[in-house]
Structure 1
Amino acid sequence: MQLAKEVKYLIHKEVLLEWRSKYTINGVLLYVVSTIFTCYLSFVSLGDKLTWNALFWIIMLFASINGVSKSFLQETKGQQLYSYILASPAAVLISKMIYNVLLMLILTTIALGFYILVFGTYNGTNLLMYYLAIILGAISFSTVFTMVSAIASKAGNGGMLMAILSFPIIIPILILLIKLAKNAVDGLPWDTSYDEIGMLLAVNAVTVATALLLFPYLWRE
């Protein structure tokens, strides 16, 4: 019960801080819209499904890095000390992950709508399955980059460390997401994607469990 109260309070704090500055939301939206529009000016139309799908996930990957990776890196020592006194390490990490998941769900939904508006979609595309891939992608990117951001914040040159630590984790996740999304674009039945969905859920569970085990030791430093 105490953990739930701490998580709720910290999420409320994150929302208030973001609402006052709107730095992350505006920055990521600007990146996504400008990138999609630049691609439109360059390609005008995307000739095949593979390119359409791959380009969207490349945009989403870098948008997630810009939006989520600053979770701990942008906090000052004073803010970290305030959180340290206010709540338990588990509450801090869980609140960051939940907030980042919600943020990425909003941003990726807007991005998908704008992407379809600009480039259109293909006949037979299973939009419900594709949106499920979007949801799983938002969760996966948020949990991984939040965990790596927490580790990188305790070391010097956090930006470089973020890239080094996140690369071997995010590539397998990205491959699974692209394959799931491709099944949706091809209009394949749901049972062909159960393996990818199950593996993504398992990876997220392992990531969260590992982060909860390691973060308290990092938080004490």
Structure 2
Amino acid sequence: MREKPGARVLALVKKDILLELRQQYSLYGVFLYIASTIFVVYLIMGQPENEVWNALFWVVQVFVCTNGVAKSFLQEQRGRLLYYYTIAGAKDFILSKLIFNTLLMGVMTLLSLVIFVVLLGNPLEHFVLFAGISCLGGAGLSLLFTFLSAIAAKAQQQASLVAVMGFPLVVPQLLLLARIANIAFAPVVQSGLAQMIFLLVGFDCMIVALAVILFPFLWKD
């Protein structure tokens, strides 16, 4: 009996999780990077105003995502990719990477939020709302950089190509995230939140669709 595509995706996600847990130095290195980056921000800024706090949070998330998520394809060796080619389809492989990196970025985002609150204060009026927006925004960033990492993996200058392609795409997403997150700083939740969240979710869905459509062409190279 042929294995269902969903089972292959889950098996690949489980594989990535086990590898990440076994290579704990890599995971702990990312966590240390998060803590040290926010600590340096604290030493320089102290406890900033609301708008600065919000801007710093999302800028840190971009750097965290670049270091923690964008390496997913860059660290895959060609021989290993050929092995995956024989046991799974291109769509299953890219979906597993998107899911795994979304989960990883969710953990890193929540960890960043906790450290931000501890060191830089808690100016949030709606902490749970901001945490939800942070997880949604982190998922969007992880989807974007995973897709860019898949494209850059076929080039020679891999890391630099991710940065070059990612900058024009991540800027509008960051502006939208900062605007949505500003609502969590106000005593009363303003109108228009649902529309902006739907716009963000639509952007994420577009990235997933492009990844599923375009990655098979890269996979065959």
Instruction: Sort the TM-score into its range (normalised by shorter chain).
Output: over 0.9
Q: Which amino acid aligns with 2:119?
A: V
Match of 1:11 in 2: 13
After superposition, give the CA deviation of every residue in 1:182-204 in whole Å (9 maximum; x if it has no partner).
11112342633122201100100
Q: Percent identity?
A: 37
SS in structure 1 at match of 2:119:
helix
Q: Write the distance in 2 (CA, Å) between the matches of 1:43 and 1:168.
A: 27
Corresponding residue pairs, total: 219
Match of 2:176 in 1: 176
After superposition, give the CA deviation of every residue in 1:21-54 in whole Å (9 maximum; x if it has no partner).
12442122111100111111222221x1111111
Shift of 1:169: 1.3
SS in structure 1 at match of 2:191:
helix
Q: Write the distance in 1 (CA, Å) between the matches of 2:84 and 2:217.
A: 15
Shift of 1:170: 1.0
Shift in alpha-carbon separation, 1:190–1:11, aligned structure 2, 3 A = farther
Match of 1:218 in 2: 218
After superposition, give the CA deviation of every residue in 1:40-70 in whole Å (9 maximum; x if it has no partner).
1222221x11111111111111000101111
Q: Which amino acid aligns with 2:35?
A: V
Match of 1:119 in 2: 120
Q: Write the distance in 1 (CA, Å) between the matches of 2:84 and 2:126.
A: 43
Match of 2:57 in 1: 56
Match of 2:33 in 1: 31
SS in structure 2 at match of 1:191:
coil
Q: Write the distance in 2 (CA, Å) between the matches of 1:187 and 1:80.
A: 50
Q: Which amino acid aligns with 1:183?
A: I
Q: Which runs of 5+ in 2 are unaligned?
A: none
Q: Which runs of 5+ in 1 are unaligned?
A: none
Q: Which amino acid aligns with 1:58?
A: V
Q: Which amino acid aligns with 1:44?
A: G
Shift in alpha-carbon separation, 1:19–1:197, aligned structure 2, 3 A = same
Q: Write the distance in 2 (CA, Å) between the matches of 1:146 and 1:53.
A: 24
Q: Write the distance in 1 (CA, Å) between the matches of 2:100 and 2:7.
A: 15
Shift of 1:152: 0.3
Q: Write the distance in 2 (CA, Å) between the matches of 1:217 and 1:205.
A: 20
User: Which of structure 1's runs of 4+ aligned residues deviate more than 4 A?
Assistant: none
Q: Which amino acid aligns with 2:208?
A: V
Q: Write the distance in 1 (CA, Å) between the matches of 2:207 and 2:32.
A: 29
Q: Which amino acid aligns with 1:175?
A: L
Superposition RMSD in Å: 1.3
Q: Write the distance in 1 (CA, Å) between the matches of 2:198 and 2:190.
A: 12
Match of 2:201 in 1: 201
Q: Write the distance in 1 (CA, Å) between the matches of 2:96 and 2:188.
A: 36
Q: Write the distance in 1 (CA, Å) between the matches of 2:27 and 2:188.
A: 34
SS in structure 1 at match of 2:59:
helix
Q: Write the distance in 1 (CA, Å) between the matches of 2:191 and 2:84.
A: 44
CA contact (8 A) 2:98 2:143 kept: yes
After superposition, give the CA deviation of every residue in 1:118-165 in whole Å (9 maximum; x if it has no partner).
11112x611122112111112101110111000000111111111111
